[in-house]
Structure 1
């Protein structure tokens, strides 16, 4: 009975398009990280996003930030990954949270926002402007931003879809950001890699996302390592 109730809740969440989904507050996550033991001096990677980053519907150790941490540890890349995802987050909400994100003193931010804007049919210009301001504030602090692009279902119309999908490469080009063209590449629409809601990945789906992500993330991390080592010499 409990499982059926959970599945029904997830389907309702999909129907309303990620609206009012609840999850761990990214503000709380960052505050906890900022107040953590100073013994952990690893450079920080903040996963900044919505329910896809927060990991709605999976255990905390099955989210993509948790999987990314495991993979980086296995590769000997000395970074600490912080999950700052908030379910239901829009780009406007993300913009308000930037000061909280910066409290954790991130070296790198993986920015995954905009899907909820699109599903609500918000103006693409507004979404782009919010993302632009987030990127500007992060870059002004010296943070390396990696931008994760999103796509929408086809029923939103060709013009809207085209404008929405263009905003990510446009921003990546303008601000010289590493770009993950589609955060859900290889996972979206997969029956085996998504939960019953058809939107949020399973643990296996998140592992696939991290595998894809590492191809773009590793060169950035190794470049940062060289810069850090050069500064010490």
Structure 2
């Protein structure tokens, strides 16, 4: 080829790798990039096993997702409100591009929730999601199925708390190492003594509300407790379930804990990108 015939060839290479904080490995692929903060429109989340679409994921990327798993306190009132729906709206108001999957199912005990969790996490992945958080609200139906005897309830609390811990352990081993949160139980009219004892056990297992700490599972994200212990019982519609105002309170308490974590994760990722670019 003569010099005049030479053509320049430009090869586009993307060398960027983004570090997860806390890092599970030295580097991770682009599909695990940091959360993107940008304004989005409000979308309504339906109850049951569903995903609230917030923003279509770009090709090759996965959408950061919060999986909420539990019983009817997660699925919400049939055809009405749920705390995942309220949480979705709050995330959008903050300009956070995430979607919330509602994995609540009426009547589920901790055993049933534990059995459903792997398939729910796989469902998020198959829909192009990346698990950023798993939120667990469980134990209400375990308490409701017990005889209303204080001695029986007290003896059952360690077993129920242990089942909840198993759920969190499974969630901590998920792909992308999500942060895992346990929500303590809100007021439960017919079993409130047992509820308070279970919440006390959860605090002993997972620490003070709102203080993330490292999981014992190697490489996993943080664990944290969201306090629903002091939600106003007057917001309950039947002594167990809640209306929109009650579920709004659930979501606000979740946001108080996860919003600083989201911002910290994003800041660490931006720092990692800047360091690599330099």
What is the TM-score normalised by the length of structure 2?
A: 0.61
CA–CA separation in structure 1 for the residues paired with 2:201 and 2:166: 13
CA–CA separation in structure 1 for the residues paired with 2:227 and 2:137: 11
Q: Deviations for 1:191-215, whole angstroms, at most 9, x for unmatched residues?
A: xx333x2321112222232223321
Name the structure 2 match of 1:225.
266
Work out which of the residue numbers 249, 256, 261 in structure 2 matches 1:208. Answer: 249
Q: Are positions 1:42 and 2:42 aligned together?
A: no
Name the structure 2 match of 1:113.
138
* Structure (1/2) with the larger helix percentage: 1
Which structure has the larger Rg over C-alpha atoms?
Answer: 2
CA–CA separation in structure 1 for the residues paired with 2:132 and 2:94: 18
What is the TM-score normalised by the length of structure 1?
A: 0.72
Deviation of residue 89 (structure 1)?
1.1
Name the structure 2 match of 1:144.
179
Deviation of residue 163 (structure 1)?
3.7
SS of residue in 2 equivalent to 1:44: strand
Deviation of residue 169 (structure 1)?
0.8
Deviation of residue 24 (structure 1)?
5.9
CA RMSD of aligned residues (A): 3.0
CA–CA separation in structure 1 for the residues paired with 2:82 and 2:192: 31
Q: Deviations for 1:118-160, whole angstroms, at most 9, x for unmatched residues?
A: 22227222212211111112112212111101156576586x5
Task: Decide whether the 8 Å contact of 2:47 with 2:82 is kept in 1.
Answer: no
Name the structure 1 match of 2:219.
none
Deviation of residue 65 (structure 1)?
1.0
Q: Deviations for 1:160-199, whole angstroms, at most 9, x for unmatched residues?
A: 555422221122138462211226x3332x1xx333x232
Residues 112-191 of structure 1: pairs in structure 2 closer than 5 A: 112-121=137-146, 123-141=156-174, 142-150=177-185, 153=188, 156=191, 160=194, 163-173=197-207, 175=215, 177-182=223-228, 185-188=230-233, 190=234
Deviation of residue 46 (structure 1)?
0.8
Q: Deviations for 1:19-64, whole angstroms, at most 9, x for unmatched residues?
A: xxxx9653xx37x98xx965484300111111011012452xx321
Work out which of the residue numbers 32, 51, 76 in structure 1 matches 2:95. Answer: 76
Task: Decide whether the 8 Å contact of 1:115 with 1:151 is kept in 2.
Answer: no
Task: Decide whether the 8 Å contact of 2:68 with 2:136 is kept in 1.
Answer: yes
Unmatched 5+ stretches in structure 2: 1-45, 125-129, 147-152, 208-212, 216-221
